[in-house]
Amino acid sequence: MALTLITDRLIRGKIYPALARHQAEPYTQSWREFEQHWPNTVPLRLQEYCECHGVKLNITDINSAWPADAFYPIGLGFFNFDIDYFGLLPQRVLTELARKHLRILFYYHEGDSPSKIKQRLDALVAQHQLPAHCYRFVSGNTAAHDVEDFVYFADFELWYWHRNSSTRALDLHNNPREREFTALNRLHKSWRATAMADLLQHHVLDNSYWSYCESGELVDEDNPIEIDAFGNLRTATQQFLNAAPYFSDEVSQHERNNHANLVSKYFTDSYCHIVLETHFDADQSGGAFLTEKTFKPIKHAQMFFIAGAAGSLQQLRDMGYRTFDHVLDNSYDLEVDNTQRWRLLCQSIQQAQSDLIYRFEQALADIEHNQRLFLQHKTDRLNILLEQLNESY
């Protein structure tokens, strides 16, 4: 089932970012910089995915005759609550919205609260006297499942599939490994510093690859983990930050952010990845948000824990991945209280550490299954998304 998209401008086959003021050509560095410029709309990731995975999109110029059931797509680098997105629309798009001949398709890969975004968009719809439900919003936050006019899509699974496609998936092996865990942090967040300090004081990382590549301040308002519920953890975290940054290799910060790159030892020479996700609490939304951090050990054949929002493991199961439930205590994923979830996760990691090699050996079939699933083309994933959007008509 094809999706019909209306575009202002098509350059070398690429949909030009809707509403954008920044000028750039596809396949240039400047094309990758739209997010840095107001109103922070970006090239449509969905088009890239569909082209690569053989999923058809019908793309029509705004000045041509429009077919029925079309969408005007807006790719978002980040959702800016100060921007009136409807007020920036071309007049013909506004007219067709009012006549219910068109809908806006917001495509957003991040994990901001869908409920908060809906409140803002619905207020703008009312302000411009547009029909209710004149838009659909694709979100990377699983809470979108329960928000009207919103659809969840695990964008970062496909994003990492593409960005790391030039690197062959690492082979799964059962030879002895030098290190127990891998726990990598590129950017500072107060909850990540708390987690790392706690793991260190429990000696989880004594024989592990780990990093914390930025220094920073401990800010309680930015920390969903109640740090004072853990004895001397505040002091330990402050000491940890005072000595930061910590590096486990000589790769530059720019190279770390290039997801085509790979340091293979982090996957082939340790038994288990401790994924410190982007959010431990996804904007108080009750949803989960998975990024490339989770899909790295999946592609490169490693067992893992996820330090992220409640329901992260369940979302992976829903996508067909295996989460080593017969090997690891994953009960932490059910705990919605952030502080208690971290406590349970830390305990589960320590428990696994006691016989990590045995657990890894028991998880080999699941690791292999996950890698194989990740490497498959994503045609089915995309077709399901397009069906959900078309059904809204």
Q: Rounded to two decimals, what is the model's pTM?
A: 0.96
- How many secondary structure helices (H) and strands (E) does the chain include? 14, 12
Query: In this predicted structure, what is the pLDDT of residue 392?
Result: 67
pLDDT recorded at residue 324 = 98
pLDDT for position 1: 65
Q: Give the per-residue pLDDT at 249.
A: 86
What pLDDT was estimated at residue 258? 76
**What's the pLDDT score for residue 259?**
78
Helix (H, G, I), strand (E, B) or coil at 163: helix
Residue 64 is predicted with a pLDDT of 86
Sorted by where each begins, the domain ranges of the chain are: 3-153, 163-375
The residues near 87 (Cβ < 8 Å, ≥ 6 apart) are 124, 128
Give the angle subtended at the CA of 317 by the CAs of 136 and 355, to the nearest 5°: 145
pLDDT at 321 exceeding the cut of 90: yes
Query: What one-letter code names the amino acid at 221?
Result: E
The per-residue pLDDT for 253 is 77
- State the pLDDT confidence band at 257, using cuts at 50, 70 and 90: confident
- Burial class of residue 354, CB neighbours in 10 A (0-12, 13-18, 19+): exposed
Mean per-residue pLDDT of the chain: 96
pLDDT digit string, tens, across residues 35-59: 999 999 999 999 999 999 999 999 9
Residues in the chain: 393
On the question of pLDDT at 160 being above 90, the answer is yes
In the 8-state DSSP scheme, what is residue 366?
Answer: H
The CB density around residue 73, as the number of other CB atoms within 10 Å, is 24
d(CA 137, CA 296) in angstroms, rounded, equals 27
Which pLDDT band holds residue 393 (cuts at 50, 70, 90)?
low
pLDDT in tens, 62-116: 988 888 889 999 999 999 999 999 999 999 999 999 999 999 999 999 999 999 9
Q: What is the rounded CA–CA span in Å between residue 123 and residue 97?
A: 16
pLDDT band at 254 (very low <50, low <70, confident <90, very high): confident
Average pLDDT value for residue range 139-148: 98
More confident residue, 2 or 312: 312
For residue 90, give the 3-state DSSP assignment. Answer: coil
Alpha carbon distance 19, 38 (integer Å): 9
pLDDT-derived band at 252, boundaries 50, 70, 90:
confident
pLDDT surpasses 90 at 246: yes
Residue 308 pLDDT > 80: yes
CATH class as words, domain 163-375? alpha beta
Mean pLDDT in residue range 365-373? 98
Helix (H) or strand (E) holding 379: helix 379-391
Report whether 290 contacts 160 (CB < 8 A). Answer: no
356 vs 66, residue with greater confidence: 356
pLDDT number for residue 2: 84
Give the whole-angstrom CA distance, residue 286 versus residue 268: 34
Q: What is the DSSP letter of 305?
A: E
